Structure 1
Amino acid sequence: MSRGSRSGAPSRAPRPSGHGAPLGELDRLDADGQAIAVHAPRTSAYAGRQRWTRRWKRTILVIADVLQLLLAIALAYLARQSTPSLGRAGDLSAAVAEAALVIGIGWIGAIALFGGYDVRLLASGPEIFRNLLRSSLGAAGIVATVLYLSGVQLSRVFFVVLFIVGTLLLLLDRLVMRRVIGWLRRRGRMRSRVLVVGALPYIDSIARTLAREQWLGYDVVGAVVPERYEDATSREGIPVMGVESDLLDVVRSVQPAVLLFAAGSDASDEEFRRTAWQLESLDIDVIVVPAVTEISSDRMRMRPVAGLPLVHLDLPRSRDALRLSKRMFDVAASALLLVVAAPLLAVIAVVIKATDGGPVLFRQVRVGRDGVPFEFLKFRSMVPDAESRLAALRDEEIDRGNDVLFKMSDDPRITRPGRILRRYSMDELPQLINVLRGDMSLVGPRPALPREVAAYDQDALRRLTVRPGITGLWQVSGRSDLSWAETVRLDMYYVDNWSFAQDVQIMVRTVRAVLTSDGAY
């Protein structure tokens, strides 16, 4: 791939000695012999469509919010009128009519002010929800102040119910929008073309992540690399479109919606800044990926100092996952669940016993925290001699790229009731006893067999620093469909980035995973 002829690029002026040329097209020199960068004049047509998409997403959100606020006002009005025991609320209808415009403008304005309509945050992360909560709190203060100063006598019960119900409805808007966008992206719609700049190893790593997380909606269409990689080929099949000195030519040719800068670039700080100037006329999203991965956002703090974007990282949180508060929650929740599920447990036990007369529980040695073995409990979902038939099945089945775990989607050892139990994870319910004993937690890495631990490398052993869980990231991210590498990656992410909020989120997602039965066999 020769420079100067790629993509019909015009010739460039020579680089003056002692000065770093920007990553782009240089057409001429000034009177002092300094290179003058020419800004790309044409906006990407594809990026223009992306801008239009962002606008209609924002419009839909605003319309949905207005409708939800009208519904919240109606519900708050009905709630106040249905509680006559609180006394008369005066002429509530007239007061609500006077206050409705203030409520609508104040709340919608606060949402816009606090970033609640930033559609870039819709796809992932909690930031869009945090912004909405802050805006609702701010709106309550704004509306209360304006109504007080204008003398509108609004019922306090109405006001409280309005902002509680309204906030919940607005959060529901964002949640539904996120689900719809994710659903469309996984089916090939509303996707963005991405051009990645950096060293090939980093580009391949990013491409693998984006290909795995289809809900993000990013398609890597090409790579721009340092000159030392010019003749190399990406292992992930990403086409090399050019080198960094030809970046603007490649951008105009490829017309990406996103320009993503990965690690390994040869560009200096000054060159990167000049490139940003040249990209200013293009409607393209620019993303910079630091050379750190598998770190949750709440462990990172961006603190710009003296023009340097310093990223401060908190240490891993494996010790936090062993806190007394987590253990107390496990005990209380597992005890409550055992009491509530007692009738279901009894029915399952009777069905298993009546099927073949074998034992109700399946007991197996698993490896827990710090490598300590424990007796693992499940409802038996296989024939009584399942373990003795395992060796023969291993010789017949090569498991989906998972060299450590053995899973078969059509395992002949599973009984008819066992298939239903596994499909909806009801065979896992006796593990609540393991949680009470302290062998396991409600949320944590997958409990491993001794033979699996024997095959662990140094990284995988980190999974044993916390208690294994009944559910975890591995279960809500694909369960048995995951490869061994993906299982380890998710478990290590959980261990390093533990938080109580993440545990709650995983438990909520577990309900959905169980109901959809994805990867369950």
Structure 2
Amino acid sequence: MNDARRSWRRTYARRIWFSDLIVLVWIVFGTQIAWFGTGQAEVAVKSGIVANDFSYWSFSSILVVLWMWSLSLADTRDHRIIGAGNTEYVRITRASVTLFGVIAIIAFLTRIEVARGFLLISLPLGLLILLFERWLWRQWLVAQRKTGRYSAQVLLVGSRRSVTEVAAELIRAPGNGYHVVGACIPSGAIADTIEGTGIPIMGSINAVSAAMDASGADTVVITSTDELPHDKVKEISWGLEAGRQHLVLAAGIADIAGPRITSRPVAGLPLIHVETPRFSGGQRVAKRVLDVTASAFGLILISPLLVFLAISIRLSSEGPILFRQTRTGRGGREFTMLKFRSMVVNAEALLPELAAQQRDAGNDVLFKMKNDPRVTPIGRIMRRLSLDELPQLFNVLGGSMSLVGPRPPLPREVELYADHVHRRFLVKPGITGLWQVSGRSSLSWDESVRLDLSYVENWSLVGDIVIIAKTARAALAPGETAF
């Protein structure tokens, strides 16, 4: 069983290797046949560096081999980057673009005339299909990981508090591929479990090797070093089997994205530099261009749907079509947010009574009720599919909101904020955000804050595009988290 668990990395990498090869053969040779037909087209050579002209069949074969080699050289199948994050996609893109750039330079220097159309079709099409293929593999891998397969079997080592915190985070996101099977803490509380889980504590920090053998763990995660003896981490590292067992250090900082972290060795010490969040003028301009372009195009595209919803609201219940509400935006400034009315007209007057009857567990600031009696029949459908949010595209055009950002809070909610929560006002609130694609109404208050602050700290244009794509998928398949 342990050997099967440990070999999943090789098995998965091998499967990706073969699927990459199939994609590249299909794209490169398919492009050649589409461009030149099935005849014996020749690559013209106008210098003496290459003796004779050679066929495109040979050139395509060499291109496939070099492309596969570039993907391997860039470690695009490394188990440390698969399943989560965008590093895998970035490496594939960089390796592919670099390869074609080198080919273009070599062709220019050696005066080898390769058809530009052949290269201009092969690169973007091959890259697009490669990324799609890897995305499909990732969906399969995440589904497997949710059942405990194709995951690192993790033994947590550190203080009891840090072990509990890290275990909760890893359990919350099984798709990232870390399945916790046990823990070792300084006190060595055998026959005990990590708080809130059924994960066993398997002894003290001196019993790591025995705990790994007993639990079948292949990865040790050091959650903290405060209560560990000097050089204990080195000792644990030296005891691991090279290539089959792995050591991971969990930094005591959360929700910091990779681009802001740089490791720099200084006098033998691996110092980790964490850059402070930067919100440059160029970044704000790029975000605004995306907001204006996408919202304007979206309003034009869905205008028939907007008209249909407006008519449905008017005919189904008394009251205005639009619901206007004061929210707090960037810099703490208040603005009027637009939504399609999904509740009865006197919904705000009924709120205090409902809030006293039922409030989400663990959510001390936001009021969410799964079967809110104030919601109209048409409103229930709109809220489930997030259609009531569509008029906020006008807020985006007007500049008070963004397509992606923290949830726009009510002024009365802001009055209850802790000091650190006010960092969410560094950016404009959004129609969607990490909270929208990570659980929506099922999230607790602390989870909502953590996601919002994570977005603010680590904003990127690519991240916005990814969230928008995930929002579209979540709206089409909302599950039980939308109400």
TM-score above 0.5, yes or no: yes
Instruction: Pick from 119, 125, 137 the counterpart of residue 79 of structure 2.
Output: 119
Aligned twin of 1:366:
327
Report 1:234-245 matches (<5 A): 234-237=194-197, 238-245=199-206
Aligned twin of 2:22:
67
Aligned twin of 1:283:
244
CA distance, structure 2, for counterparts of residue 393 and residue 270 of structure 1: 57
* Cα deviation, residue 164, structure 1: 1.8
Q: Secondary structure at the match of 1:302?
A: strand
Instruction: Pick from 211, 214, 225 the counterpart of residue 171 of structure 2.
Output: 211
Aligned twin of 2:387:
426
Q: Secondary structure at the match of 1:323?
A: helix
Kept in 2: contact 1:182–1:215 (CA 8 A): yes
* Cα deviation, residue 60, structure 1: 0.8
Aligned twin of 2:218:
257
Aligned twin of 1:177:
137
Q: Aligned Cα RMSD in Å?
A: 2.8
Match of 1:183, as an amino acid? A
Aligned twin of 1:413:
374
Q: Secondary structure at the match of 1:222?
A: strand
Aligned twin of 1:103:
63
Q: Does 1:355 align with 2:316?
A: yes
Aligned twin of 1:468:
429
CA distance, structure 1, for counterparts of residue 359 and residue 280 of structure 2: 37
Instruction: Describe the superposition over 1:444-481 as per-residue Cα deviations: whole angstroms up to 9, x where unpaired.
Output: 11011122112212222222232211111110111111
Kept in 2: contact 1:321–1:466 (CA 8 A): no
**Structure 1 unpaired stretches of 5+:** 1-44, 83-87
Match of 1:101, as an amino acid? S
**Identity across matched positions, percent:** 38
Instruction: Describe the superposition over 1:208-230 as per-residue Cα deviations: whole angstroms up to 9, x where unpaired.
Output: 10111121232222211224878
Q: Does 1:157 align with 2:117?
A: yes
**Structure 2 unpaired stretches of 5+:** 44-53
Aligned twin of 1:338:
299
Instruction: Describe the superposition over 1:224-282 as per-residue Cα deviations: whole angstroms up to 9, x where unpaired.
Output: 12248789874334432111222222222222121111113544564432332221358
Describe the shift of the 1:249–1:282 C-alpha distance in structure 2 as closer, same or farther (beyond 3 A). farther
Moved more, 161-170 or 135-144: 135-144
Aligned twin of 2:92:
132
Alignment length (residue pairs): 470
Kept in 2: contact 1:362–1:378 (CA 8 A): yes
Which structure's CA Rg is the greater one? 1
CA distance, structure 2, for counterparts of residue 401 and residue 343 of structure 1: 40
Describe the shift of the 1:67–1:351 C-alpha distance in structure 2 as closer, same or farther (beyond 3 A). same
Q: Secondary structure at the match of 2:255?
A: coil
Describe the shift of the 1:110–1:361 C-alpha distance in structure 2 as closer, same or farther (beyond 3 A). same
Describe the shift of the 1:373–1:147 C-alpha distance in structure 2 as closer, same or farther (beyond 3 A). closer
Describe the shift of the 1:398–1:417 C-alpha distance in structure 2 as closer, same or farther (beyond 3 A). same
Q: TM-score, normalised by structure 2?
A: 0.89
Aligned twin of 1:520:
482
Aligned twin of 2:156:
196
Q: Secondary structure at the match of 2:435?
A: helix
Describe the shift of the 1:501–1:402 C-alpha distance in structure 2 as closer, same or farther (beyond 3 A). same
CA distance, structure 2, for counterparts of residue 360 and residue 296 of structure 1: 41
CA distance, structure 1, for counterparts of residue 297 and residue 344 of structure 2: 31
Q: Secondary structure at the match of 2:84?
A: coil
* Cα deviation, residue 147, structure 1: 7.9
Moved more, 249-258 or 490-499: 249-258
* Cα deviation, residue 435, structure 1: 1.7
Match of 1:193, as an amino acid? Q
Instruction: Pick from 358, 362, 369 the counterpart of residue 401 of structure 1.
Output: 362
Kept in 2: contact 1:102–1:143 (CA 8 A): no
- Structure with the bigger RCO (C-alpha within 8 Å, sep 6+) is 1
CA distance, structure 1, for counterparts of residue 283 and residue 373 of structure 2: 39
Instruction: Describe the superposition over 1:45-89 as per-residue Cα deviations: whole angstroms up to 9, x where unpaired.
Output: 62x32332111111111110111012212441354259xxxxx99
Describe the shift of the 1:322–1:374 C-alpha distance in structure 2 as closer, same or farther (beyond 3 A). farther
* Cα deviation, residue 331, structure 1: 2.9
